[in-house]
Amino acid sequence: MNGVPIDAPLGVTYHEFMVNLERSYHVAGFRLPGTCRVNEQGTLVVGGVEVTNLVQRFGTPLYVFDEAHFRSRCREYRAALARFYPQSRLLYAGKACLTTGLVRLLLQEGLGLDVVSGGELYTALKAGFPAANIVMHGNNKTPEELELALTSGVGRFVVDSFDELDLLEQMAARFNTTAEIWLRVTPGIEAHTHSHIQTGQIDSKFGFPLVNGQALAAVQRALVLPHLRLRGIHAHIGSQILETEPFRLLVGVLAEFLATVRASTGQVLSELDLGGGLGIRYTEADDPPAPSDMVQVIATALERECKERELPLPQLVLEPGRSLVGEAGLTLYTVGTRKEIPGVRTYVSVDGGMADNPRVALYQAEYTCALANRMLDEPEETVTIAGRFCESGDILIKDVRLPRARRGDILVVFSTGAYHYSMASNYNRVPRPAMVTVYEGEADLLVERETYEDLTRLDRIPARYRKWAAAEAAASGSYRNEDGLAR
Ligand code: LLP
């Protein structure tokens, strides 16, 4: 069997452990992540809190954040770096999921932060994150974003194009400062992952290609710009990568580039950021390497490749997102309509879908789900979990074995911590879910549930339109409020 929970979290009783074992048969071999376990009533418990309790207090759909799991992933990465390559830094890729509360947690766990927009930067600064520990990414940072980053004292800028080299130079000069930069290069490595989340190949909107000499030309250009200080090289080869080999190849390619830079400019660059990309378990078929395995492969390769070229060891930077936060998240939904089409399919619809999880429609992503209030019930039927949004493609999971789902049951989808909340939309004017952190038996809001009021908060009715409505109201004699809306 695939999913035996040999690494049961501390504090789990033997009985709970056995129930968990039992459980992993029910979710088709998928070992429940993090602190998830099942109590005697068959209710899923996460962070020490029963999900039925969460649903009562916070409603559904609900993003649940297993704080202990997130912390343990941060620590696993940090411990592996400290052990295998002490001259290193761990950044969290905020694009995976960022809120002001999460920023506080990153501070406590001692991580730096990678941001990719003014909004992520603002979130970090607002929560009190030190700008010096922030790295600013983006293939098209706007002048306004660069200004915010420059004036707040962001630690590193990852420059992505010749155009941006010049823009940043001009702006740094204008603000009378020096920007410390890395150049993002495209190393020409194709990781085995969905084409939309591959970024290391040559034909990419990201970075300077190595093979055609543009990366070296960018180094040469950066070195003569007086308000930029070139510190290192950055590369990111893709996401949801389930093997260590592409990272080992990446290290070789980048070490070779550092040697080329030294040979042609005399400069020895001292920082090397290998991006993120390590995959996680969405279904029992996914078998990603542990962060510590990946770190060890990278560290060993980097030492060897540098030694061969007599390069000093650079500072190593990693910036994972998904592999820190992905399995720490789960989404709870309430089951609603059930539609049986005899001989074809049974649809079980839930109160969320593609607006809170766009990954199925975008990347044909696959997930594991269960009835969280009936974890010990035997599966009885094969159903398809449909979302509530107005598109046929709004399907969350196809052909899953479940106990017979009834209206009001709670459906849990696992591994929804990365690129769910951060990619959520208000499609169909459905308010976005709340997010709660659960930890040692307590549940607290990280993000409030949006309200209908929030949905119209930024809408404006142009003055001209108000006149039309007022005229219509006068004609019909019906009562309208000041915005011209019927009461
Ligand atoms: N660094 C850079 C420069 C990146 O572009 C990314 C992700 C990361 C780090 C973090 O990668 P991770 O460790 O999370 O794989 N929305 C897609 C994933 C897009 C990844 C974008 N860049 C998805 O839901 O699968």
- What's the pLDDT tens digit per position in 277-318? 999 999 999 999 999 999 999 999 999 999 999 999 999 999
Tens of pLDDT, residues 358-410? 999 999 999 999 999 999 999 999 999 999 999 999 999 999 999 999 999 99
Please tell me whether residues 304 and 365 are part of one structural domain: no
Amino acid making up residue 231:
R
Please tell me whether residues 281 and 332 are part of one structural domain: no
In a domain, 97, yes or no: no
* Cα–Cα distance measured from residue 186 to residue 200, given in angstroms and rounded to the nearest whole number: 5
CATH of the domain at 213: 3.20.20.10
Q: Is residue 306 annotated as a catalytic residue, yes or no?
A: no
Average pLDDT, the chain: 91
In a domain, 447, yes or no: yes
Distance 357 CA to ligand 1 centre (A): 16
pLDDT given for residue 169 in this prediction: 98
* Cα–Cα distance measured from residue 92 to residue 328, given in angstroms and rounded to the nearest whole number: 14
Tens of pLDDT, residues 446-481? 999 999 999 999 999 999 998 887 777 777 765 555
DSSP per residue, 406-457:
-TTPEEEEES-SSSSGGG---GGGPPPPEEEEEETTEEEEEEPPP-HHHHHH
Q: By C-alpha distance, which of 87, 89, 78 is closest to 113?
A: 89
In a domain, 72, yes or no: no
Q: Is the pLDDT of residue 8 over 60?
A: no
Confidence of residue 188 (pLDDT cuts 50, 70, 90): confident
Please tell me whether residues 149 and 40 are part of one structural domain: no
In this structure, how many other beta carbons lie within 10 angstroms of the beta carbon of residue 53? Answer: 13
Please tell me whether residues 314 and 341 are part of one structural domain: no
Tens of pLDDT, residues 320-343? 999 999 999 999 999 999 999 999
pLDDT given for residue 29 in this prediction: 81
- Find the mean pLDDT for residues 80-99: 98
pLDDT given for residue 10 in this prediction: 42
CATH of the domain at 30: 2.40.37.10
For a mutational test of ligand 1's pocket, the pick from 70, 95, 250, i.e. the residue with the most ligand atoms closer than 8 A to its C-beta, is 95
Confidence of residue 19 (pLDDT cuts 50, 70, 90): very low
Q: By C-alpha distance, which of 12, 10, 16, 48 is closest to 375?
A: 16
In a domain, 441, yes or no: yes
- Find the mean pLDDT for residues 54-78: 97
Please tell me whether residues 224 and 288 are part of one structural domain: yes
pLDDT given for residue 190 in this prediction: 72
Give the count of alpha carbons within 13 A of 415, CB side only.
22
Distance 93 CA to ligand 1 centre (A): 7
- Find the mean pLDDT for residues 412-427: 98
Please tell me whether residues 382 and 252 are part of one structural domain: no
Please tell me whether residues 259 and 282 are part of one structural domain: yes
For a mutational test of ligand 1's pocket, the pick from 186, 236, 281, 295, i.e. the residue with the most ligand atoms closer than 8 A to its C-beta, is 236
For a mutational test of ligand 1's pocket, the pick from 98, 239, 415, i.e. the residue with the most ligand atoms closer than 8 A to its C-beta, is 239
Residue finishing a domain among 319, 338, 371: 319
Please tell me whether residues 223 and 349 are part of one structural domain: no
Expressed as residue numbers, the domain containing 243 is 137-319
- Find the mean pLDDT for residues 7-14: 43
Please tell me whether residues 344 and 387 are part of one structural domain: yes
Residue nearest atom 6 in ligand 1 by C-alpha distance: 276
* Cα–Cα distance measured from residue 378 to residue 381, given in angstroms and rounded to the nearest whole number: 9
Atom of ligand 1 nearest to the CA of 276: 13
133 or 6, higher pLDDT: 133
Residue nearest atom 8 in ligand 1 by C-alpha distance: 276
* pLDDT over 90 percentage in the chain: 85
User: One of 74, 97, 306, 390 is an active-site residue; which one?
Assistant: 390
Using alpha carbons only, give the angle 388, 281, 384 rounded to the nearest 5 degrees: 30
pLDDT given for residue 202 in this prediction: 75
Q: Is the pLDDT of residue 222 over 50?
A: yes
Peptide bond into 433 cis (omega under 30): no
Please tell me whether residues 334 and 306 are part of one structural domain: no
Q: Give the pocket of ligand 1 (CB within 6 Å).
A: 93, 95-96, 114, 137, 197, 236, 239-240, 275-278, 319-323, 359, 363, 418-419
Please tell me whether residues 191 and 305 are part of one structural domain: yes
Please tell me whether residues 274 and 185 are part of one structural domain: yes
Q: Is the pLDDT of residue 274 over 80?
A: yes
Confidence of residue 486 (pLDDT cuts 50, 70, 90): low
Distance 275 CA to ligand 1 centre (A): 8
